[in-house]
Structure 1
């Protein structure tokens, strides 16, 4: 019986035809491949169209080895040599696969009694671990890839840490960082703290610094604990909207929610209800003691301690609210009043014209935090009011430029205006826009900078690329107007005595 090739002979090709691929005889070394020729290939006859079809490979997706292993060995439990029992469920598994886990590898290779047991009762001391998490973790030993639901990642992380599966732990961390949102940030931060994922903790803190005040949320404030809130409030990276007084106000609302977790209302009603609650509490108990000195308020004292009061008491209306609320101990305020008074005197009488040398530590601890939301592209000009030692600074956004201007003569303004010919300040300006989950879409920062301004002088702080901007745009500024202690004059002259000697 002849071969298929001998039974289906094709007519010779003309000299104008081009042979594609290998010759019909299947000899890969044939020199007739991909060139013009005038005669038939020596190795075999050319196939016709039907023969070409017979020789053309057809794709058929076969079940991969990984999927076969997962289905047959893990899901079906075939040829199992060990049974794992945990949380009321059983898994028929295989020691050779379980040894990928550091936990089981140590168990089977040492002198533990479990090394020769066919059934192992697995104790689960971590309440974060459930049967669904164990199913995923055990299954990960039998397959190349694992799909992790963001809603289940904490329990899977807990199980992976218990069984010492470094690769799965890393994948859980990446899943958490990609899915930080208002609903997940507190849970992810807590889990990352428990299981030692520093990069996840850092990502959660960054999200909170960006969103705590730009996108205030009642449920988030209920969930935020004292330790995390303290880290946020003391940071100079906190995106503050509008001024430091708003930081204090946000803390007042947060404290009220911590003490009244059942409160359920709109965000716009929260401050009013917090003020009413504080007033009623003082009236009912007849308390004159500052709230932070009471047993109920004491746990919140470390958080309020990081509010930068020097930038609140320089505004009369804000200072009156602090006195009315009676939350802060009076010694905190009296100390700050004294500090600010001496700072003002130094500016007026000791020629302190602001920071002239780089001092990032002082800047991070004591800079004024303020911000603004630009809802759409356009022209904006604003200043943050309050007595800033006579430094009236205008910030302008126009034509994609952000400009600082020292305003001394050209525009009327409230409060004192310094007429010193030159003033120094340290600053950092940041821009950011966010998506619906609070993730950064774009961001820009000037970094820490020193600037000297003459009277009415303008300075372009940032030139923006319109292709990178997305509105609403959040602008956050840090300013330091006074020189740090290391730059202040130590040789302040003693005041002349007003008394005259009597002869």
Structure 2
């Protein structure tokens, strides 16, 4: 703020003191800038348009024709002269702006470039004829430095905005309705999106009406929330953003829905204990101990039914419990943690048992059509990371109604294979001759900042697989792919009926 204070000293005087060594050329430039402002003001009073200041033309020593300089150099010289003479030194000021304990000697003709002041100076507003205007800041993000930079931008000044200052400048530009400065802030946010800025940029974009930036930040969170492994990122995610993320079928889940539950347990603990600091490997055990004590203190009341836990109910309601209770170790953890009420779990157990009976004792082959709405709220979410270019096979744990689906990667192809061999992944394998599966797959490569370098999304598809049959679902040949790659899938095995109670 030292540099800012020195600028304030110059603005308080009507004219700057003479400086040693300041030649006639500098004074001539300042006078030319003042002449530009006077001409613009006269045209404004006559009802004409307010042109932007033109280039300053310097005469030769012999009094001949003006020097021929490149247009950009003349424009920059004029901009610098306008900024230094009119803004920094306040020469010819016709209005004082007071805000945040400081005073700016400014000019109405330049302030009218702001939609805020253009409205203020038009019509019958009281401020239209006032020589001193007091501004009250409605936003705590607006500070003295940001306000100074915003005013300076009205005087042809090119504002440099470091990422650490983009939110105060955006808040100020939004209040003053400076579209060019708002756009500049948006570009900086696009270029500097990372784990350190994703949440703050999301909140700011939502507050100041930047839907494209908000969507970009939300997509970044969908890609990185469960892949980045950052406690600070999880801590910064607010309740309403987490609710949107957990509800989305585009969330990259590593590996299965139970991992979403585990992440939410750690997130809820960090929201309740914001001062927690420790190694990442200790977070889950500390969270388990804290919730175990809470369980004892509440005499076994499920945590989401306690006073502390009720605020988190809207988030946990978006967990897809049907794909957690089908795995015995996961079901035991749910029971031991006692975070989720039994009134939520009992209908899910019943629903899954009936679905199992339908799968084994009827001729239902699976979904007959894939609807986006079904995938959004009901599909099984799972994912896997391909670390390098080498063949590999994997399964996603959990009993999947007799489906033993093996995923194979080799030669830049991803293949689904329905295995008919019994294995330890579930209760058994169905020997029905054919089954159908609805699925969607998306593959993402992320750079070090978490931004997607590669993204491929398949359409919603219905596949019909017989026993031991395999089918290629993605081909990455001739595509510029960077490892590691995150492979995420949404599956829908059978039409589901009902949902978790509200």
Tell whether the 8 Å contact from 1:213 to 1:241 is kept in structure 2 after alignment: yes
Matched, 1:148 2:161: yes
Pair 251,410 (structure 1): closer, same or farther in 2 beyond 3 Å: closer
Higher percent of residues as helix? 2
Pair 176,58 (structure 1): closer, same or farther in 2 beyond 3 Å: closer
Tell whether the 8 Å contact from 1:353 to 1:483 is kept in structure 2 after alignment: no
Match of 2:53 in 1: none
Matched, 1:461 2:473: yes
Please, which of 327, 339, 349 is the counterpart of residue 337 of structure 1? 349
Match of 2:143 in 1: 130
Three-state SS of the structure 2 residue aligned to 1:270 is: helix
Tell whether the 8 Å contact from 1:410 to 1:456 is kept in structure 2 after alignment: no
Identify which range, 270-279 or 406-415, moves more after superposition: 406-415
Three-state SS of the structure 2 residue aligned to 1:310 is: helix
How far off its partner does 1:431 sit? Answer: 0.9
Match of 2:306 in 1: 294
Tell whether the 8 Å contact from 2:367 to 2:494 is kept in structure 1 after alignment: yes
Three-state SS of the structure 2 residue aligned to 1:128 is: coil
Match of 1:186 in 2: 199
Tell whether the 8 Å contact from 1:137 to 1:159 is kept in structure 2 after alignment: yes
Three-state SS of the structure 2 residue aligned to 1:256 is: helix
Identify which range, 60-69 or 431-440, moves more after superposition: 60-69
How far off its partner does 1:127 sit? Answer: 0.9
Three-state SS of the structure 2 residue aligned to 1:83 is: strand
Match of 2:44 in 1: none
Please, which of 170, 176, 192 is the counterpart of residue 163 of structure 1? 176
Root-mean-square deviation over aligned CA pairs: 2.0
Tell whether the 8 Å contact from 2:367 to 2:492 is kept in structure 1 after alignment: yes
Matched, 1:282 2:292: no
Moved over 6 A (4+): 57-60
Match of 1:227 in 2: 240
Tell whether the 8 Å contact from 2:295 to 2:302 is kept in structure 1 after alignment: no
Tell whether the 8 Å contact from 1:352 to 1:483 is kept in structure 2 after alignment: no
Match of 2:318 in 1: 306
Matches within 5 A, 1:18-97: 63-97=76-110
Tell whether the 8 Å contact from 2:395 to 2:407 is kept in structure 1 after alignment: yes
Three-state SS of the structure 1 residue aligned to 2:193 is: coil
Three-state SS of the structure 2 residue aligned to 1:192 is: helix
Match of 1:258 in 2: 271
Q: TM-score, normalised by structure 1?
A: 0.82
Match of 1:365 in 2: 377
Please, which of 445, 449, 453 is the counterpart of residue 441 of structure 1? 453
Counterpart Cα distance in 2 of 1:419 and 1:300: 42
Matches within 5 A, 1:193-204: 193-204=206-217
Match of 1:355 in 2: 367
Counterpart Cα distance in 1 of 2:203 and 2:183: 17
Tell whether the 8 Å contact from 2:444 to 2:487 is kept in structure 1 after alignment: yes
For residues 469-493 of structure 1, the C-alpha deviation after alignment (integer angstroms, 9 at most, x for no partner) is 111111111111113559xxxxxxx
Structure with larger Rg: 1
Three-state SS of the structure 2 residue aligned to 1:299 is: helix
Three-state SS of the structure 2 residue aligned to 1:432 is: strand
Tell whether the 8 Å contact from 1:130 to 1:155 is kept in structure 2 after alignment: yes
Tell whether the 8 Å contact from 2:139 to 2:171 is kept in structure 1 after alignment: yes
How far off its partner does 1:413 sit? Answer: 5.8
Identify which range, 419-428 or 291-300, moves more after superposition: 419-428
Tell whether the 8 Å contact from 1:379 to 1:398 is kept in structure 2 after alignment: yes
Q: 5+ unaligned residues in a row in structure 1: which ranges?
A: 1-56, 487-503
Three-state SS of the structure 2 residue aligned to 1:180 is: coil
How far off its partner does 1:299 sit? Answer: 0.6
Counterpart Cα distance in 2 of 1:282 and 1:485: 32
Counterpart Cα distance in 1 of 2:173 and 2:479: 43
Tell whether the 8 Å contact from 2:222 to 2:245 is kept in structure 1 after alignment: yes
Tell whether the 8 Å contact from 2:100 to 2:144 is kept in structure 1 after alignment: yes
Match of 1:213 in 2: 226
Three-state SS of the structure 2 residue aligned to 1:408 is: coil
Matched, 1:392 2:410: no
Please, which of 298, 301, 317 is the counterpart of residue 329 of structure 2? 317
Please, which of 396, 401, 416 is the counterpart of residue 404 of structure 1? 416
Counterpart Cα distance in 1 of 2:206 and 2:308: 27
Match of 2:189 in 1: 176
How far off its partner does 1:176 sit? Answer: 1.9
Counterpart Cα distance in 2 of 1:347 and 1:191: 48
Identify which range, 402-411 or 185-194, moves more after superposition: 402-411
For residues 174-205 of structure 1, the C-alpha deviation after alignment (integer angstroms, 9 at most, x for no partner) is 32233222111221121222222222221111
Counterpart Cα distance in 2 of 1:281 and 1:100: 58
For residues 75-130 of structure 1, the C-alpha deviation after alignment (integer angstroms, 9 at most, x for no partner) is 22222221211111121211111001111112112222221222212111211100
Tell whether the 8 Å contact from 2:422 to 2:428 is kept in structure 1 after alignment: no
Match of 1:498 in 2: none
Matched, 1:432 2:447: no
For residues 243-285 of structure 1, the C-alpha deviation after alignment (integer angstroms, 9 at most, x for no partner) is 00000000000011111111101111111111111112323x1
For residues 341-397 of structure 1, the C-alpha deviation after alignment (integer angstroms, 9 at most, x for no partner) is 111111122222111213111121111100111111111100112110001101011
Pair 58,338 (structure 1): closer, same or farther in 2 beyond 3 Å: closer
How far off its partner does 1:154 sit? Answer: 1.2
Tell whether the 8 Å contact from 1:390 to 1:416 is kept in structure 2 after alignment: yes
Match of 2:483 in 1: 471
How far off its partner does 1:227 sit? Answer: 0.6
Three-state SS of the structure 2 residue aligned to 1:443 is: strand
